[in-house]
Amino acid sequence: MTDTFPCPACGAPNNPEAGRTQMACSYCGANLTIPAALRTAAPPKVEKTTERAAPIPSLEKEAPDLLRKAQPIAIRAWNAYAYWTWIRRALPTCLVIILIGICLCVAFGVLPFFLNLRR
């Protein structure tokens, strides 16, 4: 027994399609009815389930949200920089003023002694 059957229009051999009762001739395109003896059941459909991966972030869509999350960090960094620039100038100035004050206190404290010694 062969797995092919002839086309009644052109006589060409055709392989029956699984799970179908009718098909088109592969040579002339005529509608064919597959003989009952050659009909086979359709193979079971296997559905492949794939694990869904995490979506790839789109910077265009998520940029506003990322900026909103980064804003407090940027503000704290800017404030720290502002404090550092203020301290960087104020600290040496304060130290110089304190040093000048100590020198003046020593000078004015010792000055009366020098004035009394000369008299």
pLDDT of 2 reads 60
Q: Residue 54 carries which DSSP code? A: P
CA distances from 25 to 40, 54, 80 (A): 17, 47, 81
Around Cβ 40, how many Cβ atoms within 10 Å? Answer: 12
Q: Which residue matches tokens 């359709």?
A: 42
pLDDT in tens, 63-102: 888 888 889 999 999 999 999 998 988 999 999 998 998 8
- Amino acid found at 97: I
Whole-angstrom Cα distance, residue 111 to residue 98?
A: 19
Predicted TM-score (pTM) of this structure: 0.36
- Does residue 109 register a pLDDT over 70? yes
Is residue 1 predicted with pLDDT exceeding 60?
Answer: no
Is 33 within 8 Å of 22 (Cβ atoms)?
Answer: yes
C-alpha span between 32 and 6 (Å, rounded): 9
Q: pLDDT tens for residues 28-61?
A: 888 888 888 888 887 788 888 777 877 777 777 7
- For residue 27, what pLDDT is reported? 87
| Amino acid in the structure at residue 66 | L
